[in-house]
Structures are given as structure tokens and as C-alpha cells.
Structure 1
Amino acid sequence: MADESVILCCFLWAVHGEESGLSHHEDSVLALVPEHSGTVLQRARSDGADGRPHEIQLFRFEGQAALDGYLQDPRRVALSGERDRVVARTELFPVSID
């Protein structure tokens, strides 16, 4: 049986002045990942200078259904107002890890 895991990279940019708010928000939502058969493989922060993202994350979920469950988790959805206040931009894309 083929590996059905989903590996994603996420770039996040904070609203100006909300860098700590972005980190706090991500602390909250990333805490839910393990409950959905997911793992945060890596989380890194930058200063955001020159248009770089403020935070970079790598995730692995056991499959698309696990990822969908995380994305639709009511606790995560309930934080969407906070997210809109502190996150200016997000890029999420699939990757492979060698």
C-alpha cells in the first residue's frame, strides 16, 4: 500500500505589528494537529524583513481526511477572527521530504 501521507509547507506573514499575535495564534491552532493524526515536523520564525514570511511550518498528516479534519476542527474555525486580525497572508503547498 502506498504512503498516503500529506506533507505541507506553510508560509505565514503577520499583519504589521502583530508578529507576536501571529505566533500566539499559531501556538493555539498547532496544538490541535496531533489530534488529527498530524505532526508538526518543523516550525521556524524569521524577522519578516524584505518580504520574507514571519513563520515557516512543515506538517505531515496521515492522509487527506486527517488534514480535512484539522482544517474543519470547530476549535480552529472558532479562531478565524483572531487569525484574520493577525495573519496578513498565508501560502500553503504540498512538498516532499527526501
Structure 2
Amino acid sequence: MPVTLVVLLWSVDGCDDALHAYEDDVLRLVSAHGGRVLVRARRTDDDPSHPLETQVIEFDDRAGFDAYLADPRRMSMADRRAACVARTQMWPVTV
């Protein structure tokens, strides 16, 4: 059964470009686990209470999502993520 997630990301102050660069790199791994990035949108205002980036990501199944989360290449970027991502919210949806 497919797993579709909405992901909201807020950046550390002054790290908008670093967050996008990190996401560029980490989202390249999604397809290796049976996933697809359906939507990747960046906010157009300067309100830091709004997420900087909104994503909708779909995986063929929960196992693919779990494998993506455990991917050693993704895990090796944890320090980059910690330096630029202040907050994340994620939940499953249907589309």
C-alpha cells in the first residue's frame, strides 16, 4: 500500500539556502527506495512562522519509506540537517 507524506520544513535563521541545498541532496535518495517527490514548494513570503519548504512525497510502501529513513547516505548528512533545519512536521495523507 502506498505511503504519501506531507513534510513541512522551517530553516534555522539565515540558513534558507543551506536547507534547500540539503533537501536537493537528500531528496535525490527517495527514488532509490521506491519513492517519488510529488510536490516541492518554497514559500514566497518572508514570514518565518510559515514553513520555508513544503513537500509531498510518496513511497510504494512503508518498507520503502523506512529504508529511505535508514539509508546510510541520508544518515551521513545528519550534521548538515541539524545545522539548517530548525523544525519539521510530517504526517500521512491521501491524494
Cα deviation 1:20-77 (Å, max 9, x = unaligned): 0000000000000000000000000014515000000000000000000000000000
TM-score (normalised: structure 1): 0.93
SS in 1 for 2:82: helix
SS in 1 for 2:41: strand
Of residues 48, 58, 61, the one that matches 1:60 is 58
Runs of at least 4 residues of structure 1 off by over 6 A? none
The answer for unaligned runs of 5 or more in structure 1 is none
State the 1:84 CA deviation: 0.2
State the 1:13 CA deviation: 0.1
Equivalent residues in 2 for 1:1-98 (5 A)?
4-46=1-43, 47-49=45-47, 51-97=49-95
TM-score (normalised: structure 2): 0.96
Contact 1:13 1:48 (8 Å CA) reproduced: no
For the aligned residue pairs, the C-alpha RMSD in angstroms reads 0.9
Q: How many residues align?
A: 94
Q: 2:87 & 2:46 partners in 1: Cα distance?
A: 12
Letter in 2 for 1:55: E
Q: 1:55 & 1:42 partners in 2: Cα distance?
A: 10
Q: 1:49 & 1:60 partners in 2: Cα distance?
A: 28
Letter in 2 for 1:96: T
Q: 2:46 & 2:23 partners in 1: Cα distance?
A: 16
